[in-house]
Chains A and B, each alone.
Chain A
Amino acid sequence: MTQARFQVWRGNSSGGKLVDYSTEISEGMVVLDAIHQIQATQANDLAVRWNCKAGKCGSCSAEINGQPRLMCMTRLNELDLGEPVTVEPMRAFPPVRDLVTDVSWNFRVKKQIKKFKPRPPDAPDGTWRMQQEDVDRVQEYRKCIECFLCQDVCHVLRDHQLHEEFVGPRYLVYTAALEMHPLDTEDRLSELRKAHGIGYCNITKCCTNVCPESIRITDNAIIPLKERVMDDAFDPLVKLIGLMTKKVAGP
C-alpha cells in the first residue's frame, strides 16, 4: 500500500482553491476511487458527480492534471504519482461546488434541436426495414454518453464563451445522428448554419481527442454536416444556374 497525493479543487461559484489530500492507494484504483476515499474519510462534503463507475453514464467528467477525462476510467497507474494529481472541475462550465459544474446549458441546447421525424412505416405492421450497414454509422454517434468533455475542451465555448451562438461538438454529433438517421425526414440544415453556428468550428479536432467513447466527432460528424450545409446553402444557386444555362443553351 502506498500513499498518493492529490490536489482537489474545492470551492463554489464565488471562488475556490486547490486543497491537498493524501490517501492510500491499491491495485487497479481509478481517480474516482481516490476521490471517494477522500470523501468518506477526510472530506465528507466533497461534491462530485458519478453513477456507473464504468464509463457508461458520463457523470464524472473532470480535468485531471489538466486533461479532460472521466474520473472513473482514469487509472492511477497511468498517472505520475511522484507529483500530486490535480483534480479540477470542467472549466468551460460555471462551478457549482467542488468538482460539480453547472451543465444545464447543454440540456437547454438539446431542446432547441428539432426532434426525430420518421418517414411513414415501411411495413403494414408499422415497422421499418434498415440494413445493419446503414445503422452502423449512426450508432457511432449514438454511443455518446453526454459527458460534455468535448464541450469542455472546445475553444469556441471554453475560451470564446460563444454559448449563445454555437451548440458545441456534442450537439453537432447529436444533429448528425438525426440528420443521418435513415428514417428521418426533418431538415435541420438552416439552423445548423445560423442559430447553431456550425461555421464557428474550425476543425481543430480537440473534441475528438477527448471523447471517451472514441467517437470521431470531427471527421465523422462535423465535416459531413459542414458538407451538407454547404450543399444546401449553394443548392438554390446551383439550381438557378442550371436553369439559366439550360435556357441559354436551348433550341
Chain B
Amino acid sequence: MGDYQTHEYDVLVIGAGGAGLRAAIEAAAQGTTVGLVCKSLLGKAHTVMAEGGVAAALANVDDRDNWKVHFTDTLRGGQYLNNWRMAELHAKEAPDRVRELEAWGAMFDRTPDGRILQRNFGGHKYPRLAHVGDRTGLEMIRTLQDHGIHQGIEVHMEVTVTTLLKDGDRIAGAFAYDRERGRFRLFRARAIVLATGGIGRAFRITSNSWEYTGDGQSLAYHAGAALQDMEFVQFHPTGMVWPPSVRGILVTEGVRGEGGVLLNSKGERFMFQDIPENYRAQTADTPEEGWRYTQGDKNARRPPELLTRDHVARCIMREVREGRGSPHGGVFLDIAQIKEKLPKAAEHIKKKLPSMYHQFKQLADIDITTTPMEIGPTTHYVMGGVRVDGDTQMSTVSGLFAAGEVAAGLHGANRLGGNSLSDLLVFGRRAGEYAARFAKDHQPGRINSEEVEAAGREALAPFDRSGGESAYQVQHELQDMMQDLVGIVRVEKEMERAAEGLGALWQRAAKTTVVGNREYNPGWHTALDLKALLTVSEAIVRSALARKESRGGHFRDDFPAKDPAYQTFNCVVEKGLDGGMRLRKEPIPELRPDLKAIVDELK
C-alpha cells in the first residue's frame, strides 16, 4: 500500500468547526500536545455558515432569562428525550462560553447600553441569541481560528480520516489521507475528539456542504461506539426552493425573528391555524401580538412562525400538499411586509439580514425588502449521533470523545435554533478538557500494523477495480432514496423499501471505480465517503422504523401521535459481533429531582 507519514499527539481532534477548534484550544490549554485535522481549509467548516446566532441566557435584553428557562426550553423543544445532564450543563455554561469569545476578539451586535445584543428565535422563551447580523457562524469560527492558531496546535488541513485504530478496547489512533497528494497519514494519539459535524448529504435537499457525509458517526460506529437518536433529523422549515440550483440553501430563522411571516398562496398566515397544545400558552393570539413580540414587547407572546422547526416544517408541507403552495412547491416568507409597521423598513432589513438580502438578490433575483421569498423545508441538522457521557463527552469507546453536531444527547428529538453554536462551545471545551485528562492518565495505545495495512487497502480499493459505476451516481441515488422514503413524513412500508434499497446500494458502492490518480481527486474522495453515508443512512432507517410514534424531527404518517411509552428511551445502534447493525432501546434515566422541580415550575 505504500508508506505513510506518522504524527503523534496526546490529543487528536478530528474536525475544525466550532466544536473541534474549541476542543483543541482547551486541550492545548491543559498542556497536552494537540493535532487538529479537517477535510477543508481552516475556517471553512460548516460553522462558518451559521447565521442566526448562539443561544445563551445572558439576560442582556430580557432580565427574566436565566439558565433554568433555557434548560426547560431545550427539554421542551427536544420533547424530553434529551440527555438532561447535557441540557443542564449547556444552559449553565453557555453564557461564559459566549463572553469568553468576546475576550478573544469577537464582536457581537450591541444593546443600547453597550452589552451583547440578543434576538428572538423559535422555541426560546426570551430573546437569547447573541449574534452578528446574520453571519454569527463566521464571527465565531474566525474568533476561534484566530485565537487557536496562537496556541501551539498543529493543524493538518485537507486531511480526511477514514478509519479509527484501536488497541483492544481503547482508542489508539487514526488513519487518514491528504487530499492534495493522496498520501496516507497515521495519527497516533492517546485520546481522540471527534468533531466532524453532520450527515445532511444523505439527503437530496439540504443546507449542508459536501463535508457532511456522516464521517464521525460512521468512524465511531465502526470502532465499536454506540450511536443514539439517529431517527431525529432536523428538516429546517425555510430553505430556498427556486431556482433549482439553490434548492436547499438555508434562509435563517432570523427572518422570522425579525418579524417575517409565512403565507400560503391565498395570502393566509396558516401558522395560526395549528398551534400545538404544549405551546398554546406561549403563543400569540393575533398577528398584532406576534408583531409586538418580535419588536421586543415583553408582554407579548411569540408568533406561531417561531414555533419549533419540526412543527413549522410540517405545516409548510401540509399547505403544499393541500394545494396552497407557492409556484415552485414551497410557501411564502414575507419580511417585506414589515414596511407597513416600521419606518425605513428596507434599511432595517438590510442591516439585520445582510447576507439574506445578498443571497436572494444575487442567486434568485429577488429583493427581499420588496418581495416575499419562496421557501420550503431542507435537511439541516442531525440531533442523533455518537452517544456520549454528559459530563466528559466520552463515547462508549475508551479515549474516544465526541462534541458538536456529531454527538447526540443535548437536543433530544428536536434542536432549537441557536442551541448548536452554544453546544459547540460548551461541549467542545468539555471534550477538550476531558480528552486532555485522559491523555495525561494513559500511555499511548499500541498501533496494530495489520489494521493500518487494511485501512490503506480499503482506501485504494476503488483504484483497483474497473468497469464499475461512478461514486457520484451511487451518492445521488442514495440521496434521492433517503429524501423520498425517509424524509419529513415517514411510513413503515416506504422505510422498509429504503432498508432494502440500502442493501443494494452497499453492493454497488463496493464496485465503484474511479478515474484519474490520487492527487486531489474528488471522484475518489466521493467513493470513500459512501461508506459513511451508507452507515448513517442505515442507522437512520433502523432507528426510524423502531420509533412507532411521531415526536420532534421524526414524523410517522402511520403513527401520527406522540406516544408516552416512547418518551422513556433512546434508540441506540451498535455494531454487532456478526458485523451487522444492532438496535436497542436504552432507558432514559429519571430526571434529577431538583431539575424536575424546575421543569414543573416553568411548564
Q: Which residues of A contact B (CB under 8 A)?
A: 12, 26-30, 33, 39-41, 44-59, 73, 75, 96-98, 100, 102-104, 107, 110-111, 115-116, 118, 121, 125-132, 135, 138-139, 142-143, 145-146, 178, 181, 184
Question: Is B521 in contact with A49, judged by CB distance below 8 angstroms?
Answer: no
Bound-state Cα–Cα, A45 to B520, Å: 8
B104 within 8 A of A: yes
A interface footprint on B484-522 (CB within 8 Å = 1, 0 otherwise) = 000000000000000000000000000000111101111
Question: Is A181 in contact with B105, judged by CB distance below 8 angstroms?
Answer: yes
Question: Is A116 in contact with B104, judged by CB distance below 8 angstroms?
Answer: yes
Question: Is A48 in contact with B522, judged by CB distance below 8 angstroms?
Answer: yes
Question: Is A98 in contact with B520, judged by CB distance below 8 angstroms?
Answer: yes
Contacts of B139 in A (CB 8 A): 142
Given the interface pairs A39-B522, A103-B41, A107-B42, the reply to whether A143 lies near B362 with Cβ below 8 Å is no
Bound-state Cα–Cα, A52 to B208, Å: 7
Of B244-252, B296-304, B453-461, the stretch lying at the interface with chain A is: B244-252
A-B pairs, top 5 by smallest CB distance, nearest first, are: A28-B243, A45-B516, A44-B523, A129-B114, A116-B105
Bound-state Cα–Cα, A130 to B105, Å: 12
Bound-state Cα–Cα, A73 to B246, Å: 11
B47 — nearest CB in chain A belongs to which residue?
A57
Instruction: Determine how close the nearest CB of chain A comes to the CB of B139; give it in whole angstroms.
Output: 6
Bound-state Cα–Cα, A12 to B44, Å: 23
B107 within 8 A of A: yes
Question: Is B363 in contact with A30, judged by CB distance below 8 angstroms?
Answer: yes
Return the contact of A178 from the options B105, B157, B180 (Cβ within 8 A).
B105
Bound-state Cα–Cα, A116 to B143, Å: 10
Question: Is B519 in contact with A127, judged by CB distance below 8 angstroms?
Answer: no
Contacts of A135 in B (CB 8 A): 107, 109-110
Q: Which residues of B contact A (CB under 8 A)?
A: 40-46, 48-49, 99, 102-105, 107, 109-110, 113-116, 132-133, 135, 137-139, 142, 146-147, 149-150, 155, 157, 180, 209-211, 242-246, 249-250, 355, 358-359, 362-364, 470-472, 476, 514-517, 519-524, 526
Bound-state Cα–Cα, A48 to B520, Å: 9
Instruction: Determine how close the nearest CB of chain B comes to the CB of A48; give it in whole angstroms.
Output: 7
Question: Is A53 in contact with B209, judged by CB distance below 8 angstroms?
Answer: yes
Instruction: Determine how close the nearest CB of chain A comes to the CB of B140; give it in whole angstroms.
Output: 11
Return the contact of A56 from the options B114, B138, B245 (Cβ within 8 A).
B138
Bound-state Cα–Cα, A21 to B572, Å: 47
Contacts of A118 in B (CB 8 A): 103, 105
Question: Is A29 in contact with B245, judged by CB distance below 8 angstroms?
Answer: yes
Question: Is A46 in contact with B245, judged by CB distance below 8 angstroms?
Answer: no
Instruction: Determine how close the nearest CB of chain A comes to the CB of B263; give it in whole angstroms.
Output: 22
Given the interface pairs A45-B514, A51-B48, A52-B48, the reply to whether A59 lies near B40 with Cβ below 8 Å is yes
Instruction: Determine how close the nearest CB of chain B comes to the CB of A13; give it in whole angstroms.
Output: 10
A-B contact list, 6 entries, CB within 8 Å: A58-B43, A96-B180, A115-B146, A118-B103, A139-B133, A143-B135
Give 7 A-B pairs besides A27-B244, A116-B146 with Cβ atoms closer than 8 angstroms: A39-B523, A44-B472, A44-B522, A51-B40, A56-B138, A97-B519, A118-B105
| Residue from A46, A53, A128 having most chain B Cβ neighbours under 10 A | A53
A182 — nearest CB in chain B belongs to which residue?
B107
Question: Is B44 in contact with A51, judged by CB distance below 8 angstroms?
Answer: yes
Question: Is A45 in contact with B523, judged by CB distance below 8 angstroms?
Answer: yes
Bound-state Cα–Cα, A135 to B49, Å: 21
Bound-state Cα–Cα, A41 to B451, Å: 35
Bound-state Cα–Cα, A5 to B102, Å: 49
Given the interface pairs A44-B516, A139-B132, the reply to whether A54 lies near B149 with Cβ below 8 Å is no
B42 — nearest CB in chain A belongs to which residue?
A107
Question: Is A56 in contact with B105, judged by CB distance below 8 angstroms?
Answer: no
Instruction: Determine how close the nearest CB of chain B comes to the CB of A103; give it in whole angstroms.
Output: 7
Question: Is A56 in contact with B48, judged by CB distance below 8 angstroms?
Answer: yes
Return the contact of B49 from the options A39, A46, A57, A130 (Cβ within 8 A).
A57
